[in-house]
Chain A
Amino acid sequence: MRIAKLAQFIIVVAVVYALLKAPGVFLGKPIPESLIFMYMVLVVATVLLVMTSTDESAEELFRPIRALVEDPKKAFARKIVFVIAPIVAGYIAYGLSSKGMEPPAELRSIHPAPPSKMTAYGKRIDMDTLENPLRATETGEKEVFNAYVADGAGIYFKNCVFCHGGKLDGRGHYARALTPKPLPFKGRDTIAQLSESYVFWRVVKGGPGLPSEGGPADSSMPAWEDKLTEEEVWKVVLFLYDFTGNRPRERAREGK
Chain B
Amino acid sequence: MNKRFLKVTIFSIAVIGAYTLFSSLYVPLIVPEEPLSVEAVDTASGVEGFISLGEKIFKGKGACALCHNSVGRAPLLENIVDVSVTRIAAPDYHGSAKTSVEYIRESLASPSAYVVPGYGVAGDEKTSPMPDVTAGAIGLSRLEVDYVIAYLQRLSGVDVTVTREAGGIDVSGAVETTTSAEGAR
Q: Is B99 an interface residue (CB 8 A)?
A: no
A117, B157: Cβ atoms under 8 Å?
A: yes
A-B contact count (CB 8 A): 24
Residues of B within 8 A of A105 (CB): 28
Residues of B within 8 A of A116 (CB): 78-79, 155-157
Given the known interface contacts A124-B157, A126-B157, the answer about A113 and B26 at a Cβ–Cβ threshold of 8 Å is: no
Number of A residues whose C-beta is below 8 Å from B?
13
Q: In the complex, what residue of chain B is closest to A126 when comparing beta carbons?
A: B157
As a 0/1 sequence over residues 119 to 130 of chain A, the CB contacts with chain B under 8 angstroms (1 = contact) are 000001010100
Q: Is B70 an interface residue (CB 8 A)?
A: yes
Residues of A within 8 A of B70 (CB): 113
Given the known interface contacts A124-B157, A126-B157, the answer about A115 and B78 at a Cβ–Cβ threshold of 8 Å is: yes
Residues of B within 8 A of A128 (CB): 79
What range describes how many residues of B lie at the interface? Answer: 10 to 19
Of B28, B78, B83, which contacts A113 at CB under 8 A? B78
As a 0/1 sequence over residues 153 to 179 of chain A, the CB contacts with chain B under 8 angstroms (1 = contact) are 000000000000000000000000000
A115, B26: Cβ atoms under 8 Å?
A: no
Residues of A within 8 A of B83 (CB): 256
Q: Report B175 CB to chain A, min CB distance, Å.
A: 14
Q: In the complex, what residue of chain A is closest to B157 when comparing beta carbons?
A: A117
Most central of A34, A107, A115, A124 by chain B CB within 10 Å: A115
Q: Is A48 an interface residue (CB 8 A)?
A: no
Complex Cα spacing A105 to B26, Å:
12
B157, A118: Cβ atoms under 8 Å?
A: yes
Q: In the complex, what residue of chain A is closest to B29 when comparing beta carbons?
A: A104
Complex Cα spacing A126 to B79, Å:
10
Residues of B within 8 A of A113 (CB): 70, 76, 78
Of A34, A107, A118, which contacts B26 at CB under 8 A? A34
As a 0/1 sequence over residues 15 to 38 of chain A, the CB contacts with chain B under 8 angstroms (1 = contact) are 000000000000000000010001
B→A interface (CB under 8 Å): 26, 28, 70, 76, 78-79, 83, 155-158
